[in-house]
Structure 1
Amino acid sequence: MRRYGKNPDEDDIRTRARGRSRPRTHRRPAHEDAEEGFVVTVDRGRVTCLVGERVVTAMKARELGRKSVVVGDRVAVVGDLSGKKDTLARIVRVEERSSALRRTADDDDPFERVVVANADQLAIVTALADPEPRPRLIDRCLVAAYDAGLDPLLILTKSDLAPAGPLLETYLPLGIRHVVTTREQFDEDTVAGVRELLSERVTAFVGHSGVGKTTLVNALVPDRQRATGEVNAVTGRGRHTTVSALALPLPGTRGWVIDTPGVRSFGLHHIDPSRVIHAFPDLEPGTEGCPRACGHDEPDCALDDWVAEGHADPARLYSLRRLLATRERHEGD
């Protein structure tokens, strides 16, 4: 430590210039000049956005912290918005989401992941054979759709290999719209019918690998072909050909389709039964007499009396309880 005499002057004392000349502030810039962008894909930290008619690559600003940016998000973007090669913009704000499709890696994982934001429809694609249908996975996707407030759409492929009737009977009480197709070569009439159900909507596609999900997306949006893989004839398993979610504009409409990677499981650790019941408006009034935090499958659940009094179809209550019970069972059970 340097020592000075009794009467030091300014030549004796020299102060080191501070690195920061401005006082710190917790106020964040308003970014009033930011433009609105729509996130079409996210890949290793790079976010591809549609800003007007320009495709812009951006990164999440540090000020957003750990807030995630996912496909379907509407964001505020600043910086170089020209869309030219090797340019990079910044996402400074994620607008409030109208919906969020969530899943966990498995039922024991408390960390939920947002798969798609701001969708209003979930297309669940499953094959009737090769690979065999997995009703538990379908049920789990339905629960996630109801929890997120999305309308489900069931698309059954490869009906030339197995009849659709037995599987559809399970879901008829739910009143789910459905489409039945033959093998993965979708004819024009089928594609037109599916496109009509997707028009004016943002639809996320989910399904097990090898069911023809991406092939259908390619048929709907032929200008944006994505890689497809073959299904193993022995195991019935397909290669994961979609590695990241991608939003594509549906030609001739104002709709969007979002192709997501093939899933082997759909964890429901985050699901609250009180949100799922909202998808059953004929049953929801009957829950007024339920005990607090009722799981709707308990001896004192008020829904039993509600249905017995003729207010709703017993098949609807069975379907609700089957869907809620799938939170406790694995897809292969």
Structure 2
Amino acid sequence: MVVSVDRGRWGCVLDGDPDRPVVCMRARELGRTPIVVGDSVGVVGDLTGSQGSLARIVKVDERRTVLRRTADDTDPYERIVVANAEQLLIVTALADPPPRTGFVERALIAAYAGGLTPVLCLTKSDLADPAEFTAAFADLDVAVLAAGQGDPIDAARDLLTGRVTALIGHSGVGKSTLVNRLVPDANRATGVVSGVGRGRHTSTQSVALWLPAGGWVVDTPGIRSFGLAHISTDDVVAAFPDLAEAVEDCPRGCTHFGPPADPECALDRLTGTAHRRAMAVRGLLADLASTPDWA
């Protein structure tokens, strides 16, 4: 498993064991094949992990999940943030800086399209009531964790233990502080920024950190923008089995936005919980179409 990337060198752990680290280079035959944190790779050569030793990555396994983003909504170049994570912990502050639903919506869409289970983690919950902010995502059944300064993090530990979880968030929302609470010897740099998406990014490289009770958290650099040029409405709907089955009855070319653009969208014929979830997903898609990528 790749746990770090730095200037043409990849830190890996053998068989997922944090006590068996090796440093690797990419084999020439792989060319420019992207290798990111979370990738499962095949390595050969010196696997002792001793000082100065260097193994070679000769194979990148097929990814089970992929968290991707683009620089903006017009950029066709996809950047892979993390591979093979099971969960995406979307870290947002309830105050200082104020929360932005736009970023959370984009992160949710990226998680659904990439096969990750999203979890909303609210920092600084001691400064503001989370109820109003989380109400916007209630029909999506997204798990919510409170991580204010005075909040215990037992629930977060339980949810993350034994799994690979990626953490994303704007700079200054307390992501690195949370990581340091979860992994006491992580020593992730923390700092203060002047606003959402501005200021010094306290984490400059993605790195996978081993949790004391097992599992990995992947701390990623603070996000300035979150473009989703690579994602279609079908990618998002496909993440919900009941909605994916329903849209099989949609006419060809349906974008699932509903009337007036799609007067015959099958999502409108759903009832009960499925209909509420469909409307919540449709709301995500509508907000995505109208919200700038830095929100």
Cα pair 2:254 2:265 within 8 Å, conserved: no
Measure how far apart 1:226 and its partner are: 1.0
- Match among 158, 182, 204 for residue 220 of structure 1: 182
Give the RMSD, CA atoms, in angstroms.
Answer: 1.8
Take 1:314 and 1:81, find their aligned partners in 2: how far apart are those partners? 53
Measure how far apart 1:274 and its partner are: 1.6
The superposition leaves residues 114-140 of structure 1 with CA deviations (integer Å, 9 ceiling, x where unpaired) of 111111100000000101111111000
List runs of 5+ in structure 2 lacking aligned partners: none
Take 2:265 and 2:76, find their aligned partners in 1: how far apart are those partners? 30
Measure how far apart 1:293 and its partner are: 3.3
Q: Identity of counterpart residues, as a percentage? A: 52
SS in 2 for 1:67: coil
- Match among 102, 118, 125 for residue 91 of structure 2: 125
Cα pair 1:100 1:117 within 8 Å, conserved: yes
Q: Hey, what does 2:205 align to over in structure 1?
A: 244
Structure 1 stretch displaced more, 46-55 or 139-148: 46-55
Measure how far apart 1:332 and its partner are: 6.0
- Match among 173, 176, 180 for residue 211 of structure 1: 173
SS in 1 for 2:217: strand
Take 1:39 and 1:87, find their aligned partners in 2: how far apart are those partners? 16
Take 1:83 and 1:260, find their aligned partners in 2: how far apart are those partners? 25
Q: Hey, what does 2:231 align to over in structure 1?
A: 271
Cα pair 2:208 2:217 within 8 Å, conserved: yes
Larger Rg: 1
Measure how far apart 1:312 and its partner are: 4.3
Cα pair 2:70 2:229 within 8 Å, conserved: yes
- Match among 54, 77, 96 for residue 111 of structure 1: 77
Cα pair 1:210 1:229 within 8 Å, conserved: yes
- Match among 273, 282, 286 for residue 321 of structure 1: 282
Q: Hey, what does 2:3 align to over in structure 1?
A: 40
Letter in structure 2 aligned against 1:150: L
Cα pair 2:72 2:293 within 8 Å, conserved: no
Letter in structure 2 aligned against 1:231: V
Letter in structure 2 aligned against 1:142: L
Q: Does 1:330 align with 2:292?
A: yes
Cα pair 2:189 2:203 within 8 Å, conserved: yes
Q: Hey, what does 1:6 align to over in structure 2?
A: none
Write out the 4+ residue segments of structure 1 that deviate beyond 6 Å after TM superposition: none
SS in 1 for 2:238: helix
Measure how far apart 1:60 and its partner are: 0.7
So what's the TM-score if we normalise by structure 1? Answer: 0.81
Letter in structure 2 aligned against 1:97: R
Structure 1 stretch displaced more, 193-202 or 203-212: 193-202
Take 1:323 and 1:177, find their aligned partners in 2: how far apart are those partners? 17
Measure how far apart 1:95 and its partner are: 1.1
So what's the TM-score if we normalise by structure 2? Answer: 0.91
Q: Hey, what does 1:7 align to over in structure 2?
A: none
Q: Trace 1:122-201 onto structure 2 (pairs within 5 A).
A: 122-183=88-149, 187=151, 190-201=152-163
Cα pair 2:164 2:216 within 8 Å, conserved: yes
Q: Hey, what does 1:93 align to over in structure 2?
A: 59
List runs of 5+ in structure 1 lacking aligned partners: 1-37
Q: Does 1:76 align with 2:38?
A: no
Take 2:272 and 2:239, find their aligned partners in 1: how far apart are those partners? 16
Measure how far apart 1:322 and its partner are: 1.9
Per the alignment, do residues 206 and 47 of structure 1 end up closer, same or farther by CA in structure 2, a change over 3 Å counting? same
Letter in structure 2 aligned against 1:264: R
